[in-house]
Amino acid sequence: MRQLFMMVAAFAAMTASAQFGPQRGNPVVPSVKAEVEDFKPATTNQENKQFPAVNSKRQVRAQIVAPKATFVGLDIAGKIYEMTKDENGVWTGTSEPQDEGFHYYQLNIDGANVPDPNSKYYYGASRWGSGIDIPAADEDFYTVKNVPQGSVNEVYYWSSVQQKMRHGYIYLPNEYYTNPTKRFPVLYLQHGMGENETGWSAQGKTGIIMDNLIADGKAVPFIIFMDNGLDTRRPGDPDPAQMRRQFGQGGPRPQGGQRPGAQGGRPGGFGRGGFGNFFEAFQEILLKDIIPMVEKNYRVIADTEHRGMAGLSMGGMQTRGITLANPTTFAYVGMFSGGTFSVDDLKDAADFKKTNKVLFMSAGGRETRMAEGDGSVGKAAENLKAIGFNAHSYVSPETAHEWQTWRRSLYQFAQLIFK
């Protein structure tokens, strides 16, 4: 029950954070004065769009033409900044300084929550909508460079579990193409709640991070498969829309006492749509459909020592659940902003311990429960090292439950695995 409590506490902390993006009910605050007028268009803008723009203090300025509107707001990081209209019907507003990295945002026009027509669109906060990348001191590691390029490939495949075609993305390193007889390890990499299979390659910049790491000799070439960890409905399952309504904005509510790590085939003690469902339903698809498909269709080293799983937030909890329930399947395990493994989890897990080569846990520095103190990833790694695990932790400086934390986590984790 302690583990369950900690998972629920971690999840509650997450759901209150920025991953879920703009919410109804965010407070309306006045647009802020710019600390410095050196705004540049965001890199996430549509081609040739001057707004949104970011200044060197990381304030965001948005602009939109809406001559007949009576209210326009910039909804970012939990506040709606009230924009002001000029004589031409052009509304402009400026936010407070934002954290480095990627944030979801939206505009509110007379009560309608809409994407900003100037931004590119990303899937997160349970919708396709606007995103903005705030320049970061360390952005070099996720910047496209003239180095040997792999590719991120969009694939469809048949799911025997769901009896339908599924959709995922596979990163193949450059050497997959240049060395046509070589086989590669595979990392199965999962997104968080409110996100989908596009997140890791789009806002996560997985392909770019990996190409750069491999070119620098910091990571060995490996394959990454990115799938949808929420698309788990099987024939006869209840309507997922209803499940989502049940969870609402407060995150899932456990409905029973089954241990999250327990195997159960179909969702058990937590009820349909409960906590267990998040990893058990996806576990079935991962083990029966995804891994066999990847190992059949690609030049993969199909053994435990060359198979890893990691995920962010809910994807980290899925990783925890699936790797505990299948202790001899994955040698490399990563949880990014997804809580921790505890000594209680692992002290008697002989198969897991024998199999595991790297156990990695990370969090954003602003995720204080996971970043600091007794419940932190650092403390967990220390405790796990003491019982013999090759445990690692990482805290991303000055970032919250957002993609900059997870880009950095992947960058760190990728350097540790399959070596």
Residue for token pair 């026009």: 109
Of 150-158, 268-276, 283-291, 383-391, which part binds its own copies (CB under 8 A)? 150-158
CB 221 within 8 A of CB 173: yes
Instruction: Say whether residue 5 binds its own copies (CB under 8 A).
Output: no
Task: Give the residue, chosen from 80, 107, 136, 322, that forms a contact with its own copies under the rule CB under 8 A.
Answer: 107
Check binding of 129 to its own copies (CB under 8 A): yes
Q: Which of residues 260-299 bind its own copies (CB under 8 A)?
A: 297-299
302 scored as a contact of its own copies (CB under 8 A) = no
- Residue 247 is a binding residue for its own copies (CB under 8 A): no
Residue holding tokens 């009576």? Answer: 70
Select 69 or 301, whichever has its Cβ closest to its own copies. 69
Does position 301 interact with its own copies (CB under 8 A)? The reply is no
- 331 vs 387: CA distance, rounded Å: 17
Number of residues that bind its own copies (CB under 8 A): 56
- Cβ proximity to its own copies, 233 vs 369, nearer residue: 233
Contact with its own copies (CB under 8 A) among 60, 62, 80, 170:
170
The residue from 78, 115, 269, 292 that contacts its own copies (CB under 8 A) is 115
55 binds its own copies (CB under 8 A): no
Stretch in the footprint of its own copies (CB under 8 A) among 133-141, 155-163, 318-326, 354-362: 155-163
Q: How far is the CB of 174 from its own copies (least distance, A)?
A: 9
- Residues 371-400 close enough to bind its own copies by CB under 8 A: none
**Using the rule CB under 8 A, is 111 a contact of its own copies?**
yes
Residue ranges that bind its own copies, judged by CB under 8 A = 46, 48, 64-72, 89, 106-107, 109-117, 120-121, 127-129, 144-146, 149, 151-158, 165, 170, 172, 177-178, 180-181, 201, 207-208, 240-241, 244, 297-299
